[in-house]
């Protein structure tokens, strides 16, 4: 009997301690001060008219969904969070919104700034309450290319057909100018100083004898001139 009483007493003691710990933790959570992150979401006028229920498909996510909120009829929202630093995102399946970081200190002061992943140390503050402006719409499908006249004109087949014709009509007009004609002739047919065929043949077949004869004839002529 004494053993059973001791076991029941220990069991009741453990239960009481666990309940007291739970109550204290709940009291600590409730004693934390909560602050409201407030803001408003804007949408393109033309798109909002075509999609009147866009507010139902828009969610406010804080820290990736740890806290979540929905838009009111006037497109405003408010989320209660404790002090800290939070990333506020507006999720809409059709329009992109730039996320914002909100810092809340223990005294309840708010500071909103843009998120810069390239330079995290750079601080670019924005106004508070938050105002989310619409960005570029999402494109889930590639837009089909449309037919254009320029695609036909600049196609390789058309260029191969019409460029020679254009050159045929333009080049004669350019050749009418005498200066351009001379330049073209010099480029196409350059003049080289070629030796005569007779001298080439004598040098090939005659060899050194022809050269000696020419030198002797030249010397005799000089002697005749001197005798005179």
Residues 185-218 have pLDDT tens digits of 777 655 555 556 667 667 776 655 544 455 545 4
3-class SS of residue 113: strand
Q: Are 84 and 66 in contact (CB under 8 A)?
A: no
Task: Please tell me the pTM assigned to this model.
Answer: 0.51
Residue 89: how many CB atoms within 10 A of its CB? 18
Annotate 31-66 with DSSP letters as a single string. Answer: HS-EEEEEEEE---HHHHHH-TTTTTT-EEEETTTT
Domains of the chain, first to last: 32-132 (2.60.40), 149-188 (no CATH)
Give pLDDT tens digits for 1-14.
555 656 565 665 67
Q: Worst-scoring range by mean pLDDT, 69-78, 107-116, 164-173, 191-200? A: 191-200
CA distances from 79 to 62, 65, 186 (A): 9, 12, 85
């Amino acid at each position: 009997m004494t053993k059973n009483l001791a076991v029941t007493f220990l069991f009741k003691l453990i239960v009481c301690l666990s309940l007291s710990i739970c109550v204290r933790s709940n009291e600590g959570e409730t004693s934390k001060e909560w602050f409201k992150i407030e803001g408003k979401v804007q949408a393109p006028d033309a798109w909002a008219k075509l999609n009147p229920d866009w507010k139902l498909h828009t969610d406010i996510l804080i820290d990736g969904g740890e806290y979540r909120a929905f838009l009111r009829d006037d497109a405003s929202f408010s989320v209660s969070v404790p002090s800290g630093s939070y990333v506020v995102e507006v999720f809409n399946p059709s329009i992109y919104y730039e996320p914002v970081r909100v810092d809340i200190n223990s005294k309840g002061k708010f500071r909103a700034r843009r998120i810069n992943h390239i330079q995290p140390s750079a601080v670019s503050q924005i106004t508070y309450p938050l105002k989310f402006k619409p960005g570029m719409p999402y494109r889930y499908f590639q837009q089909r290319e449309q037919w254009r006249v320029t695609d036909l004109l600049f196609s390789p087949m058309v260029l191969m057909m019409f460029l020679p014709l254009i050159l045929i009509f333009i080049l004669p007009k350019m050749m009418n100018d005498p200066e351009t004609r001379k330049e073209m002739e010099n480029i196409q047919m350059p003049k080289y100083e070629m030796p005569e065929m007779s001298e080439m043949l004598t040098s090939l077949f005659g060899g050194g004898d022809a050269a000696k004869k020419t030198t002797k004839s030249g010397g005799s002529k000089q002697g005749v001139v001197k005798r005179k």
